[in-house]
Structure 1
Amino acid sequence: MSKTSKLRMYSRKGGKVLNTPKSTELNIKDMFDMFITDKSIEGLSERTLHDYNIHFSYLLDYLGGSILNIQFNKELFKSYIAYMLHDKGLSPVTANVRIRTIRAFLRYCYLNGYINEPIHEHFKPVKTKEDTLESFTPEEVKRLLSFVDEKSYKGFRDKVIIYLLLDTLVRCSELVGIKRKNIDLKAGFITLESEGTKSKKSRVIPISTKTTKLLKEYVELTDVYGAEFLFLTYEGGLLSDNTVRKNLAELGEIAGVNKRVSPHTFRHTGALFYILNGGDPFSLQKILGHSDMSMVRKYIQMTNTDVKKQHNVFSPLNRVF
């Protein structure tokens, strides 16, 4: 059955086509443009808005084109979820990212009177297995660093990036948004401005002595560019987060590390190492920039070996004997 046929079937099924809303008939593309404008005014990052547009394009592909608000119903969107999971074979995690965008869009449409029914309330993200966030071992981090060509500008910059990702636990978008004026090498802090963070709140993150020393060398090396931002291309332009991801992935292949080598994996790894080294979860929460401790728990997923090592150090019997 074609997508268009599916759409007709779900539009007529059980007489569940919505009545024309009080507002005029609107095209889904026009409504989404208004949604994006609204979210932009709210202050969502450019990357988030870009992701929203990508997720919406997948929905349009499924629909086979554009539809009107009077054709919206819960069966249509539930069928799209089934299509993602069963026809496309997407993982629940991937599908949920797109589902959240759809729900936010439908909620916007309902609150603004473009549709009469709160369709977003009729479906939720699908259940997923317990998250298993992959982390590097100390040996894998050393191996990655050993394959960095420090003699080249790109290689030295990548080494600084790895140190910062692991030491500060910043997100990739936050990393490339670091401004030179917000680096305090004497005190050992970096300030992330509110517009560059996911939570839209400024954050002060500490940096260790080793990272400070390496960062000082990089800052002096790139002073000649007179740039506003810290991480630059060889020509002095702003380094993009996509380039950082690409370079790390290529480094992982060269080093033969059979895990996803990405900024987010370094974030997971840094959080785990922080706890294993004796750090407390509350200071970790502040460094990560999370307002919810449940999110912090997802980052601290220890292997049985990690738990065994911690138990040997902190066993209750050590208090007795």
Structure 2
Amino acid sequence: MKKRRNTKKTIAQTTTEQNDIRYLFKQFLSIKTSEGNAERTLKQYQENFKFFCEYLNEKNRSFSIETMNTEIFRDWVMYMQFEHIQFKDIKTKTVKEVGLKPSTINTRIKTMKVMFNTLMRNRLVDSNPLLHIIKVNEPVELIEVLSEKKINALLAVMDKSSYTTFRDYVLTVFLLDTMLRVSEAVTLRKADLNKEVSLIIVRASVAKNRKARTVPVSKKVVKLLNQLIQENEYSFQSEYIFAVSEFNYYNRHNYNQRLKEYATLANLTKNVHPHLFRHTSATKWLENGGGLEELRLILGHSKYDMVKRYAHIADSSIVIASEKFSLTNFIKI
């Protein structure tokens, strides 16, 4: 006679799966997807959680949610600070760095906090073991900027007679002019550009904070965008201004790589990357007398914290102001 299926074992297996943090992460990801989180945010969640799972494997820890307490996450933070070896599987990297950057550690802590808060809100777990885990201290470094001389040198090596190089030239000038994030810029559509009033719309779907905003663009840059749109029409019809085909826009990683090549041609030793243009233009805005509130709106920041960092690095304007307004100018010494 055929034996009956062991129903108790099946139930036990199901319970084990549901108590597995990997299963709960899938639930969390599903919730965040349904809430409309940006694709890059979801990808970041996946990358950070994968790193946590690798830690559990390396330390032979259990994946059971019942073992996830404050102690294990404190150990994880300590591991990221003092034990994790970077590039250990890359043979070409002869020097192995130990420990992650504080900003990277804090991003990974944030992912796990968001995950547990979301699971609690949806009654999938009873508590958040990261409640008392605080961020590690991040040194506030000076933001690097490019001088006008170096910007001109970079633009000078971009051959505008070539379509792909001309597209890089226009994108670079556009980033310097609008201070957009590169992910916001490459997804710009023709419909987002209002040529009449020289404004562009950063759609909520591509904005980092998921909030649409309006950003001014100079008339001479609008002319460059028009030229690029006309060039595009010779090869393909696309709704994107920085297009690579009818349906695809320019890959920001490819652009970043090409910037490195241009920097080498221009004999620039500084690490040139798209975000450097945002830093440079924001700093120059304040140096030239632009307001903090207008800059905050253009950059798309909800708070002044990041915007104020640019105020601390405008060294040249501080020196000029000191010469003009210092008390020693008005007393006999």
TM-score with structure 1 length normalisation? 0.85
Is the CA contact 2:193–2:201 (under 8 Å) kept in the aligned structure 1? yes
Aligned pairs for 1:1-321 within 5 A = 25-64=18-57, 67-88=63-84, 89-224=99-234, 225-233=236-244, 237-312=248-323
User: Offset of 1:241 from its aligned partner?
Assistant: 2.0
Q: Is residue 55–residue 76 contact of structure 2 (8 Å, CA) maintained in 1?
A: yes
Using a 3 Å threshold, how does the CA distance of structure 1 residues 160 and 315 change in structure 2: closer, same or farther? farther
Q: Aligned partners of 2:181 and 2:327: how far apart in 1?
A: 36
Q: CA deviation at 1:253?
A: 3.1
| Shift in Å, 1:38 | 1.3
Partner of residue 87, structure 2: none
Structure 1: which amino acid aligns with 2:50?
S
Asked if the contact 1:107–1:119 (Cα under 8 Å) also holds between the matched residues in 2, the reply is no
Taking the aligned partners of 1:233 and 1:111, their CA distance within structure 2 comes to: 42
State the match for 1:15 in structure 2.
none
1:154·1:234 contact (CA, 8 Å) conserved in 2? no
Number of positions where the alignment pairs a residue of Structure 1 with one of Structure 2: 299
59-68 vs 170-179, which deviates more? 59-68
Residue identity in the other structure for 1:40: T
Question: Which residue identity is paired with 1:241?
Answer: R
- When residues 314 and 280 of structure 1 are mapped into structure 2, their CA distance, relative to the original with a 3 A threshold, is farther
Give the conservation status (yes or no) of the 8 Å contact 1:28–1:66.
no
State the secondary structure of the residue aligned to 1:121. coil
SS in 1 for 2:130: helix
- Greater alpha carbon shift after TM alignment, 214-223 vs 283-292: 214-223
User: 2:248 & 2:125 partners in 1: Cα distance?
Assistant: 45
Look up the match of 1:12: none
| Aligned-partner residue type, residue 217 of structure 2 | I
Gaps of 5+ in 1: 1-21
TM-score (norm 2): 0.82
Q: Percent identity?
A: 30
CA-to-aligned-CA distance 1:210-239 (integer Å, 9 cap, x gap): 312222211221134221111112787321
SS at match of 2:270: coil
* CA–CA separation in structure 2 for the residues paired with 1:35 and 1:230: 35
**Cα shift at 1:28:** 1.3
State the alpha-carbon separation in 2 of the partners of residues 197 and 318 from structure 1: 47
Q: Which runs of 5+ in 2 are unaligned?
A: 1-14, 85-98
Deviation at residue 309 of structure 1 after TM alignment: 3.1
2: CA distance between counterparts of 1:313 and 1:275? 17
Shift of 1:246: 2.0
Amino acid of the structure 1 residue aligned with 2:81: L
Task: Tell me: CA distance 1:121–1:311, structure 2 relative to 1, closer, same or farther (3 Å).
Answer: same
Asked which structure has the greater RCO (Cα within 8 Å, sep 6+), the reply is 1
Task: Give secondary structure in 1 for the equivalent of 2:63.
Answer: coil
- Structure number with the higher helix fraction is 1
